[in-house]
Amino acid sequence: MAASSGLSQRVGSYDSEFEYDSEAERKRRKYADLSAKDKKKKSSKGHKRELEEEYNKEEGRIMRHKIISLNAFDRHKVLVNNYLTYYGGTATELKRDSSKDKTDFDVIRENHKFLWTEEDDPDETWAKRLAKKYYDKLFKEYCIADLSRYKENKVAMRWRIEQEVQQGKGQFLCGDKKCNEHEGLKSWEVNFAYMEDGQKKNALVKLRLCPDCSYKLNYHHKKKEAKPKYKVKDGTSKDRRHKKSRKHTRASEDSDSEGSPNPDETPGYNKDTVKPPSEDKQSAEETSTNIWSGPAKIVEEKSREEEFDEYFADMFL
């Protein structure tokens, strides 16, 4: 009995130890599989050239981002500084040659004409189109003169600009460049001779000058004074009346110069109806006395408003 009980205890102990070890091993492997990670295989070190390429790509990306965030002027300064830093030199070497540069004013001065005619083609070049466009903006009724060298018989003239027209310069103020007198102005018609493109040209222009400047203008030669036309109350101008009176006198002279017909040969002639020349003289004297007996016709000069109206009427034609 004792031997059998000892054998059974021995067999039972063997079975429990075997089962316990296998179960523990199985659990250990199970948890080990979850915690374990596959380790990547270590690659060999890259070549130095590949390292430089990657570095340049990264630096280029950073520099591109910085340049894009700058405005045009700051970007230009950064690029110039980088160029001078890496390649050397001075900033003066980067300046362009500006000796042949021309502004719009230079182009207009080279191609300007005092008078454009139909023969001049402004569409020939861009410079001529610009000069013609400037010429169309000028006001060509009165001129502005420079009389500083009048003793040498040299007078410079140009047309007026919009600002001078608004100020009344050259029409209600003296037309001299440096004079602003507004009293005693006279209008002068000047045959302006000038050189243009190597050719001598002439133009008849008008000037409004004060007495002192008029003396300078007529220092060598007396110019023709442009007198305004006066208006009479009945609406006819003074010049037209003179023309009519001249025509009337010419017609009367022609009739007198023709041979007088014979009274006896003229049909329907009556001596009683014909007046002797003494009576004609008496009627002429009576008409002359009647002229002085009545009120004289008042001659009215143009007012400033009428001058403005005529001036602007010419402008908008």
Q: Give me the mean pLDDT over the 88-103 stretch.
A: 82
Of 225, 255, 288, the position where a domain reaches its end is 225
Of 118 and 278, more confident:
118
Task: Count how many domains the chain has.
Answer: 2
Helix/strand/coil for 273: coil
Report d(CA 164, CA 144) in Å as an integer: 9
Is residue 184 domain-resident?
A: yes
Is residue 187 domain-resident?
A: yes
User: How confident is the model over 242-270, as pLDDT tens digits?
Assistant: 554 554 445 444 444 444 444 444 344 44
> Alpha carbon of 152 to those of 81, 114, 176, 212: distances in Å?
58, 22, 17, 17
Question: Do the bridges between strand 224-225 and strand 299-300 make them parallel or antiparallel, or are there none, so unpaired?
Answer: unpaired
Helix/strand/coil for 39: coil
The widest CA-to-CA distance across the chain, in whole angstroms, is 213
> Alpha carbon of 96 to those of 50, 76, 254, 292, 316: distances in Å?
41, 15, 84, 85, 48
Write out the two tokens for 49.
């050239």
Of 167, 194, 225, the position where a domain reaches its end is 225
Q: Are residues 142 and 211 in the same domain?
A: yes
Contact between 131 and 102 under an 8 Å Cβ cutoff? The reply is no
Q: Give me the mean pLDDT over the 144-159 stretch.
A: 92
Contact between 207 and 175 under an 8 Å Cβ cutoff? The reply is yes
User: H-helix or E-strand containing 140?
Assistant: strand 139-146
Report DSSP state, residue 117.
-
Is residue 102 domain-resident?
A: no
Q: Give me the mean pLDDT over the 210-215 stretch.
A: 92
Report d(CA 94, CA 276) in Å as an integer: 106
What is the separation of C-alpha 224 from the centre of its chain, rounded to a whole number of angstroms?
A: 35
Instruction: Provide the residue type at 221 as one letter.
Output: H
Name the residue range of residue 157's domain. Answer: 138-225
Q: Give me the mean pLDDT over the 41-61 stretch.
A: 82
pTM of the model: 0.47
Q: Give me the mean pLDDT over the 23-28 stretch.
A: 74
Report d(CA 199, CA 119) in Å as an integer: 15
Contact between 144 and 175 under an 8 Å Cβ cutoff? The reply is yes
